[in-house]
Structure 1
Amino acid sequence: MLSNSRGDLFEKNEIYKSSLNKLTEKAKKNNIISSECYKRYDVKRGLRNENGTGVLVGLTEVGNVHGYTIENGKKIPDQGMLTYRGIDVKEIVSGFQSDKRFGFEEVCYLLLLGEFPTEQELKKFKIMLGKCRELPDGFTEDMILKFPSNNIMNKLERSILVAYSFDNNPDDTSIRNILRQSIELISRVPVMIAYGYQAKAHYYDGKSLFIHSPKAELGVAENILHLIRPDNHYTKTEAEVLDLSLVLHAEHGGGNNSAFATHVVSSTGTDTYSAIAAAVGSLKGPKHGGANIKVINMMSNIKESINNWQDLEEIESYLIRILNKEMFDKAGLIYGIGHAIYTLSDPRAVMLKEKALELAKEKGRVDEFLLYENVEKTALKIFKELRGRENICVNVDFYSGFVYDMLNIPCELYTPLFAAARMAGWCAHRIEQVASEPKIIRPAYRNVKEKCKYIPIRERD
């Protein structure tokens, strides 16, 4: 197992440890701005308006998230809708599923280019993706295996930045070059995360090292299952469920944190790798990309603590204790319930739940699925009765973690899979930013620190 010897310096040496503790207290004391200050200057904290809506900072045609309407300045709850390039995702999913084919590659084409491909265009696009899937010579050995990380998102971010050095034309910001880079990233990121996980499992967890070559003839979902499993085997249902998850996570409007990060960094005129690495860094944050892991951990706690998974009263009693900060992580949150925009329903959760049941039947885990369903409806009941929140719904994170668990995907890959799916949306937003808006994004921050005089070093306390 690898150790972090540099970080150990401040923990094992008492002098350094004491010094760091003192510096920490100063850092805390001198970096807190009071809430009253934010109110006084009418700061839109979190870029949110008073009614909870987002501050309008840009325009996009890539994707849209609809969860409410505004009437007389008030939010009116509505059924959730997610559109890619103006097309309802439900219709997209229904279309490729009725044809009994995978849909992620078609969605990537739609997001990047703004229109659906013809059958021939889609075939050529898939061939392009397949040709790009192999990592550059030396990349796997020198970047991934020699420098493993115990966090795959960290490994992915570094891998994307290193890809800059393997690109013969990295700084060209023409649409043609950005599109070429985008296609390569969409194709290669699944391989990067699969190899990153295998390196982590071997060097940190002591497991056998499996490095399988990707297959050009397979799509993204099938390649992921092929790459992360020692025997390369997977069922058709497994691949279909993972493909659906990738489609549902591919894009979520320009206002989510990672997409906005892509716009902000792209507006500086920098290279594609820097912009997309910034988006990965954003998604790594547990407030953004790691919620499904929280759901899985919470549900594991519920499974261990509840005797009868079908007893709604027992479930309700336990969920109330979670809300009261008595159980689980004592944060007072029921993870996977509620969303910043969706009110009456999250369309992604609705579609993924249907496929989750299909997979649960194949895996013999219907009892667990029914527990998830019972927790969902009981949690909504509790929020309505105890918190007065009627317009709240389960979000996609509630079922996505369960789906990945049934697919035998390690939890370390949950957020990286999110990144692999969202790569298409991020690249589409980058292309849109470069093509449409030449101005650098530079919001205002007000300095509220009073003027201070310089104190000579010998007079300082």
Structure 2
Amino acid sequence: MISASDKLKFYAKNIKEENTIKKDLYDKYDIKRGLRNKNGTGVLVGVTKVGDVYGYRMEDGEKIPEEGELYYRGYALTDMVKDFNDNKRLGFEEIIYLLLFNQLPKACELSDFKEVLTNERILPKKFFEDTILNIPGNNIVNIMMRSVLALYSYDKKADDTDTLNVLSQSLSLISKMPIIAVYSYMVKIHNFEKKSLIIHNPIEDNTIAENILSMLRTDQIYKKEEAELLDLLLIIHAEHGGGNNSAFATHVVSSSGTDTYSAIATGLGSLKGPRHGGASLRVSQMLENIRENIKDLKDEDQIKDYLSKMIDGKVFDKKGLIYGLGHAVYTLSDPRAVLLKEKARELSKIKKREEDFLFIERVEKIGGKLIMEKLKRDYPACANVDLYSGFCYEMLKIPKDLYIPIFAIARTVGWSAHRLEQIEDSKIIRPAYKSLSQKKDYLSLKDR
């Protein structure tokens, strides 16, 4: 008698054999695998006014490396962050306004907008108990997806895709997402780690970054520098063009005419994937692995030797990758990593974590050069945003369970902006697939 488990293994083996497609077929039929051109650039599939990722220029079909820049509605991210730092203010709410409305708010407009966000934070009556507390889960992003879909049931105009209604829904989700994420985490550790359940209400005059910190901490106390770092993390993760996996997924499902809750849940599902939003966790695991396997974290030769083995696929996960280095678009630098690195340097001094910061900096320098040498590139692989983000979360005492959820809190803004853009286009996104199946004559059950 074949067990159910063995049957499933047999089915899975057949599926794997039948579904494996030879890579040379992509060249044969001129298919852009992963929607990528042969030079690594993305296939042009749409236009957007929301964000622009700049990392190189093209000359005569050649990809010329450039210092990276990220633009939100045409404004350079680095310029905006410099202004926030110079004027000692938290800027995430201003970024939300800019990405949604395509203009920088005046002081009075920003004040009114913050009031709107504050009012939208309130969860429906019994929502916390029914959706989060009574159905705990191990993965916070999954609970966020479930919660977003549950909010559909509380909306009398859930399926209305009029711009005004979608904007209202977007503001509601942007405001509620931090509450849902933190509460879901608190319930998780209460149920699975037997810790006391502590639920703090958001403080009315706090920014989103400040409220995340205050709701996470038993005493609700945080330093100004901590709020500034988390605010920066939210700002740099808010948007990254229309072609990244979760933004594109949001565009695709929005083009079908579906509701806002389904579209944002789609973005969350995409972001959860380890090839997209989970990279910062992989970097943290990699850095811990390096610490465990070399004797002196200050010895650059030891670091180089271990990273060389990593590229050769001999250590860590044996995939031949140094996580946190290199990017699909950025070449010489990732502006998000540059901004985050400097803020991390500042806080590492306050938190007495300078040695940890310098260790990551050595990995960046040595690893970038090794990738250039071993893969025969013309320039060192630059640090991407994930190299320093995990370290920043550590210094803020934010648990690993919330790394991707905080990314999602920020990126809900970008998804919302892209959805508002997509619903103005009545054309459904419907690319083609080349069928490789051969025509066969059907056999009746008794003849097989």
Q: Distance in 1 between matches of 2:18 and 2:413?
A: 41
2:286 to 298, 301, 307: 298
Q: Distance in 2 between matches of 1:35 and 1:57?
A: 22
1:147 to 124, 130, 135: 135
Offset at residue 347 of structure 1 (A)? 0.4
1:173 pairs with 2:161: yes
Q: Distance in 2 between matches of 1:232 and 1:327?
A: 41
CA RMSD, 1 decimal: 1.2
Q: Distance in 1 between matches of 2:378 and 2:371?
A: 7
Letter in 1 for 2:406: L
Q: Distance in 2 between matches of 1:167 and 1:228?
A: 28
1:244 pairs with 2:232: yes
Which residue pairs with 1:6 in the alignment? none
The SS at the match of 2:53 is strand
1:371 pairs with 2:356: no
1:220 pairs with 2:208: yes
1:73 to 61, 68, 84: 61
1:399 pairs with 2:388: yes
1:432 to 413, 421, 425: 421
Equivalent residues of 1:292, 1:400 under 8 A apart: yes
Q: Distance in 2 between matches of 1:73 and 1:50?
A: 11
1:232 pairs with 2:220: yes
Map 1:313-328 onto structure 2 (within 5 A): 313-328=301-316
Equivalent residues of 1:130, 1:215 under 8 A apart: no
* Structure 1 residues 123 and 36: CA distance shift in structure 2, 3 A: same
Offset at residue 388 of structure 1 (A)? 1.6
Offset at residue 14 of structure 1 (A)? 7.7
Letter in 2 for 1:427: S
1:201 pairs with 2:169: no
Offset at residue 33 of structure 1 (A)? 2.1
The SS at the match of 2:423 is helix
Offset at residue 367 of structure 1 (A)? 0.4
Equivalent residues of 1:133, 1:216 under 8 A apart: no
Offset at residue 261 of structure 1 (A)? 0.7
Please give the per-residue CA displacement for 1:136-192, whole angstroms capped at 9, x wherever unaligned.
111110000111110111111111111101112111111111111111111100111
1:419 pairs with 2:408: yes
Q: Distance in 1 between matches of 2:279 and 2:84?
A: 28
The SS at the match of 1:30 is helix
Greater shift after overlay, 327-336 or 398-407? 327-336
Equivalent residues of 2:98, 2:104 under 8 A apart: yes
Equivalent residues of 1:245, 1:352 under 8 A apart: yes
Please give the per-residue CA displacement for 1:381-410, whole angstroms capped at 9, x wherever unaligned.
212222222332110000001000111111
Map 1:270-289 onto structure 2 (within 5 A): 270-289=258-277
> TM-score, normalised to structure 2's length?
0.98
Please give the per-residue CA displacement for 1:388-443, whole angstroms capped at 9, x wherever unaligned.
223321100000010001111110110111000011111000001112x1100000
Q: How many residues align?
A: 447
Q: Distance in 1 between matches of 2:394 and 2:2?
A: 42
Q: Distance in 2 between matches of 1:56 and 1:99?
A: 38
Q: Distance in 1 between matches of 2:191 and 2:378?
A: 48
The SS at the match of 2:45 is coil
The SS at the match of 2:19 is coil
Q: Distance in 2 between matches of 1:258 and 1:386?
A: 31
* Structure 1 residues 390 and 207: CA distance shift in structure 2, 3 A: farther
Letter in 1 for 2:141: M
Equivalent residues of 1:249, 1:418 under 8 A apart: yes
Greater shift after overlay, 218-227 or 24-33? 24-33
Structure 2 gaps of 5+ residues are none
Map 1:350-365 onto structure 2 (within 5 A): 350-365=338-353
Q: Distance in 2 between matches of 1:387 and 1:259?
A: 30
Which residue pairs with 1:123 in the alignment? 111
Please give the per-residue CA displacement for 1:92-125, whole angstroms capped at 9, x wherever unaligned.
1111221111000000000000001110000000
Greater shift after overlay, 416-425 or 206-215? 206-215
Equivalent residues of 1:134, 1:214 under 8 A apart: no
Q: Distance in 2 between matches of 1:395 and 1:359?
A: 19
Please give the per-residue CA displacement for 1:355-374, whole angstroms capped at 9, x wherever unaligned.
00111111110000000011
> TM-score, normalised to structure 1's length?
0.95
Which residue pairs with 1:3 in the alignment? none
Structure 1 gaps of 5+ residues are 1-12
Q: Distance in 2 between matches of 1:454 and 1:100?
A: 72
Letter in 2 for 1:304: E
